[in-house]
Amino acid sequence: MSIKDRLTEDMKQAMKDKEAGKARLSVIRMVRGSIKNVEIDHKKELSDEEVLEVLAKEVKMRRDAMEEFQKGNRPDLVESLKQEVAVLLAYLPEQLSEEEVGKLVAEAVKASGAVGPKEMGKVMAILMPKVKGRADGKLVNMLVKEHLNQ
């Protein structure tokens, strides 16, 4: 079953769950709308990999918004965004831990032969295809910078 099919089935189930599924239903509808917009923009149906990219982008937007709401002292909005992220993460592959990303960073640095922060692009080019959709880009960026600054 494709991710889009799974989203459709989960949306139907959330509608049947009435009150219990309201938050989940709204998140699924929103992400299906985002997928549809990308399909219209690209004039083609998205593959599962491309749908994962849209989902990862939606998660990133919510995490960025959470940071801003925390700065603005809005715990009510932070909590609702956490719930939305939890719904979206169910459709993404299992996320890598910081330790696992650190190991991949070390391998990528070794493979690229990078010795300083100026060669970060080489490392990221090797690393990003391995962690795409499975790790937060900010975390990857931070770990690569730390590794190259040693």
Q: pLDDT tens, 45-95? A: 998 888 988 998 999 899 999 999 999 999 999 999 999 999 999 998 888
Element (H, E) at 129: helix 120-131
Same CATH topology for 3-89 and 98-148: the answer is no
Give 91-150 pLDDT, tens digit per residue.
988 888 888 888 888 888 888 887 888 888 888 888 888 888 788 888 888 888 888 887
Kindly list the domain boundaries of the chain, sorted by start residue.
3-89, 98-148
| Beta carbons within 8 Å of 27's beta carbon, 6+ residues apart | 83, 84, 87, 88
Predicted model pTM = 0.77
Neighbours of 88 (CB within 10 A): 20
What CA–CA distance (Å, rounded) separates 117 from 142?
Answer: 11
Domain 98-148 CATH (choose: 3.30.429.10, 2.60.40.10, 1.10.10.10, 1.10.10.410): 1.10.10.410
Superfamily of domain 3-89: Uncharacterised protein YqeY/AIM41, N-terminal domain (1.10.1510.10)
Contact between residue 84 and residue 62 where contact means Cβ atoms under 8 Å apart: yes
Q: What is the distance between the terminal CA atoms of the chain, rounded to a whole angstrom?
A: 45
